[in-house]
Amino acid sequence: MIQSLHDLGRALHADNKYSSFFASYADPFAGYDGEAVVVVIDIEDGEVLEELSLEQYASQNAWRYLYRDPNGPRGAPLVATGPFYPMHKLETQAQREKQAENVEKIMSRIARSIPDGPSVYFASTEAKERGLAVIERLLKEQDGAKDKRFLYTVRIDKKYLGEFPELVEKLDDEAYLKYYEKSKGRGTCALTHAKDVEVWGRVDTLGFTVNDISFNRGGFDGKTSYRMFPVSKPAALALEAARRYAFAKLTDRFYTLEYLLIPRTLEERPELLLDLVRIIDTARTGERFEDKTVPIAKAEGVIDLVADEQGLNRAGVLFDLLFFQRNQAQLALLLHLQDIPPTRLGGIKAAINGTSLRYGRVFGYTDKKDKEFKPFRVNLNVVKNFFSTGKGVKINFDPFFFHLLEAIFHERKVNEATVLVALMDKIRIAFKNDGDDYHLPFHTTVHQAIATRSLLGALGLFHHPTYLLMEQHSEPIGLAPEVFIDQHQAFFKDQPALRGAFLIGVLTSMLTYAQYDSLKSKPFLNKLNNLNLGLEELRALVPQLLTKIHQYQSRKSGYSPSHFTVTDLAAEASSLLMQGGKPSRDDLSFAFTTGMVMQDKFAIDAARKRKAEGEDAESSTAS
């Protein structure tokens, strides 16, 4: 990734359009134009005005503010610009106290960034102290919208800080001080492989550093870190520029994760890399997301941009993908994937859309508010439900999820049994909480599990070859037991017992819906061992199902199935369960659950067909 960033930085340097990324100031809200606000503190004739100004933040105006991350959590900024975290409301005493606490920290930074005595800010120390008192009062009274990010800065006599040459020079002088102040020497650059009169150590782009406690414990001397990873000044500047560009243009979020997608070329071709950058820039700013395709992760994501943009699909072009989380000023690097061809990203999206098309109408629903039909869609958002806990900003991903991501993007095999365990764990939790309700969450969880298993198979992650055959047929799934089984042969692995478990699930659904029609409850669900079923449990269910269904047939319940249908299914299921093989309990339980939930769809479709046939018959009679 470091080499890819360096190559990207060298390519950016060839176009003046990207010169701002080589500046010593930073873009504090890269990628968040329109979501950030600048709180401007005006100083005129050496006095702070009694009113703050608010302006919309835009990346092209980053030069005005001269923002740069402070050196460490308590480091002083070089100029009076920094992040501001106002309370959303200042109505209660607790809110005002929290605001005062936040402002107190900011004032400490502002005071240290403005020198005593005469300066570009104030004429004297006394004027500085008076001004700071006014600034503190103004900031304590400034609230902020919950969905916005805030930056404070100072404007002096209607001039922004970036318009003062001495402040710009100060930033330039100290921007890379951390690299060479305590670690520099003559050597060969690790990135360019060229000798230089001065190479720097302590380079920490994207979290890499040789100044960590772990190095020191191993006897490593940070002062000579340039010997371990020597970087020349031009290379360091290229790295920093590429990092800024990447965070502005090539990063996106996936719940609590963030990711970077960095293009690179197999051979050193900066002109091709620059061409790729221009294509990405154009695609990100254009109106290219009007299609209705299902995204890989989220709508308008960087990964989908690359997957959709044909201009990026070139020979010799690869991508590096880095998943990370922010931990204050540091990055926690979670997964680094290299050498992903754009064709693979296109293949992932094709599989997602093919699988979504197969299940979209059958598993979709009609929104109660706008009465609009919402087709079911499966992508990484759905897959992650089975490999994480919590929701929203509190979601925690299982370690296996990152293993799964690696397999998806590199098209590697995973153990299908491990995936099946995760699917059944979530299904059992939903069943226990929901009890096979007509709505959420049990049925939806099973729908998602069926589609997730199909998608991962279509992506080539499982060994069974019929998953890939499923991918080649994008027609909607059939709504009859025998058709569904034929379309999902990979689920049943040529093991008759799994088909038998599916049919017993169908019978169970027939019974429980008849029970609900009569009793408004489904007592038979208590006999399912919370969907942890083996061969013996399934065989024992068959006579119980026949007895119970016969009871409801005698009551002439509108939901009770015909005698012929029940006996035929029961006989076939019993025969299949006796034909050898020892599938796992999770495999059997998944097949059973799939049959139980799909029977709901089978019954609805059968009723629709009967109604249509009846209407056709009435029409023929009338004519």
582 Rama sector, left if φ>0, alpha if ψ -120 to 50, beta otherwise: beta
DSSP 77-105: PSSS-EEE---S---SHHHHHHHHHHHHH
User: pLDDT tens digits, residue range 213-260?
Assistant: 554 555 556 666 667 778 888 888 898 899 889 988 899 999 989 999
The dihedral through the CA atoms of 113, 119, 124, 127 has a sign that is negative
**Cis bond leading into 441, ω under 30°?**
yes
| Residue 604 dihedral angles phi and psi, to the nearest 5° | -65, -45
Of the candidates 318, 425, 362, the one whose C-alpha atom is nearest the C-alpha of residue 598 is 362
The predicted structure's pLDDT at residue 558 = 53
Q: 436: how many CB neighbours lie within 10 A of its CB?
A: 23
396 DSSP β-pair partners = 389
The predicted structure's pLDDT at residue 435 = 62
Amino acid of residue 383: V
Helix axes 496-519, 585-622, angle to 10 degrees: 60
If you average pLDDT over residues 354-367, what whole number do you get?
Answer: 92
Amino acid of residue 285: T
Distance CA 5, CA 574 (A): 61
CB contact at 8 A, 36 and 57? yes
Q: Decide: residue 380, CB within 10 A, 0-12 exposed, 13-18 middle, 19+ buried.
A: buried
At residue 371, the 3 state secondary structure works out as coil
Instruction: Among 224-228, 439-443, 445-449, 515-519, name the one with the lowest average pLDDT.
Output: 224-228
Of the candidates 218, 206, 214, 77, the one whose C-alpha atom is nearest the C-alpha of residue 151 is 77
User: pLDDT tens digits, residue range 10-53?
Assistant: 999 999 888 888 888 888 887 677 789 999 999 999 999 999 99
Most confident of 77-91, 311-325, 586-600: 586-600
The predicted structure's pLDDT at residue 142 = 95
CB contact at 8 A, 135 and 48? yes
At residue 615, the 3 state secondary structure works out as helix
If you average pLDDT over residues 305-330, what whole number do you get?
Answer: 86
If you average pLDDT over residues 126-130, what whole number do you get?
Answer: 96
The predicted structure's pLDDT at residue 240 = 85
The predicted structure's pLDDT at residue 21 = 86
In this model, does residue 461 exceed pLDDT 90? Answer: yes
Q: Which helix or strand (DSSP H or E) is residue 318 part of?
A: strand 317-327
In this model, does residue 330 exceed pLDDT 70? Answer: no
- What percent of the chain lies above the pLDDT cut of 90? 57
The predicted structure's pLDDT at residue 289 = 47
Distance CA 119, CA 104 (A): 23
Amino acid of residue 315: A
- Unique residue bearing structure tokens 């790295």: 239
CA 419 remoteness from chain centre: 19
Query: Higher confidence at residue 471 or residue 567?
Result: 567
